[in-house]
Amino acid sequence: MLEAAREAASLWGLGAAPIALVAQRENVVFRVQAPGRDLALRFHRPGYRDEFQLTSELQWMAVLASNGLRVPAPVPALSGALIQRQGNSMVDMLEWLPGRPLGKAGNLDGITDRIGFCRTLGEVMAQLHGISDEWQQPMGFSRPAWDRAGLLGERPLWGRFWDHPRLTGDERALLLNARARANDALRQIEESADYGLIHADLISENMLFDDARPDAGVALIDFDDGGFGFRDFELATFLMRFTDAPDFPALRAALCDGYRTRRRVRTEQLDLFIVLRALSYPGWIMERLGEPGSEERSERAIATALGHARRWLEA
């Protein structure tokens, strides 16, 4: 794989630069020590996004970075293109952002002021959405849609969660009931909801915090699933992992307070979007069964979806 990375890096004129593997999950990521700066070379998961969607992702990230968000800015190849093909994979190069991930999803490792962090994160989310709304998307811009069909239709973006093979008959019936009820609830509010480009996967693992520069705020990475969606779904994606935390009410209030400094948030709709986020995860892991650690993650995704579905239906 390292040899393939060197061949890919040569498309940026960096084939001789020191290269090291740093992540191998959805994408395979290498750290490239270019003269004067480090860069991230990404091999995208084959078949997950096409060239038009990946180019659109990078165009959007470039706009966010140029408007002050701590987002990895794309680096064009020698040809001027943002995306290159290497074997069966699409590859790109991004600026390397300093900082460390905030732990596994649901953690805020090293953050002593959790309330203050959530307030800041809410402001960053609102800024991301505001910049995205003001940007005129280029011709051919293409990203997935986290709309009602993308969340609850016959072919959701992350898979038919109710068809997970590990579900019992009663569990499947519960998720189908939640799906039907949530579909009705979302239909009633979708016309008036704030809808536009969202990151769609704002979890702790996709946020970087620079201990050397604590005032720099949070950096956002991994825009693989970014697309068009409900803005309250964006907030719910972060909040869902903290619903069992003792300070969850305070974290939720702080996130919303930060967000509403720039944009409106409909707090009464967050419970719906939290259950929608929870329902998506069994579908996501279903397509990855057999990968290392998938059984444990699958069990956790099912338990989370069932718990949120049951509580939401009872409420």
Q: How far is CA 2 from CA 9, 15, 18, 25, 85, in A?
A: 10, 11, 11, 16, 16
Does this model's pTM top 0.75? My answer is yes
At residue 122, the pLDDT reads 96
At residue 214, the pLDDT reads 66
Q: Give the CATH class of 101-314.
A: alpha beta
Half-sphere exposure for 106 (CA within 13 Å, toward CB): 10
Q: How far is CA 57 from CA 68, 158, 272, 315, in A?
A: 17, 18, 27, 38
Residue 279 is encoded by which pair of tokens? 């329902």
Domain-wise residue ranges, the chain: 2-96, 101-314
Q: Are 7 and 50 in contact (CB under 8 A)?
A: no
Residue 114 is encoded by which pair of tokens? 């959790």
Domain 2-96, what fold? Phosphorylase Kinase; domain 1 (3.30.200)
Helices H, strands E: what count in the chain? 9, 11
> How do the pLDDT tens digits run along the chain, 315 residues long?
778 889 999 999 998 899 999 988 889 999 999 999 999 999 998 888 999 999 999 999 999 999 999 999 999 999 999 999 988 899 999 999 988 889 887 889 989 899 999 999 999 999 999 999 999 999 999 999 999 999 999 999 999 999 999 999 999 999 999 999 999 999 999 999 999 999 999 999 999 988 777 666 789 999 999 999 999 999 999 999 999 999 999 999 999 999 999 999 999 999 999 999 999 999 999 988 888 888 999 999 999 999 999 999 998
Residue 105 is encoded by which pair of tokens? 């999803």
Q: How far is CA 48 from CA 127, 163, 206, 259, in A?
A: 28, 20, 18, 31
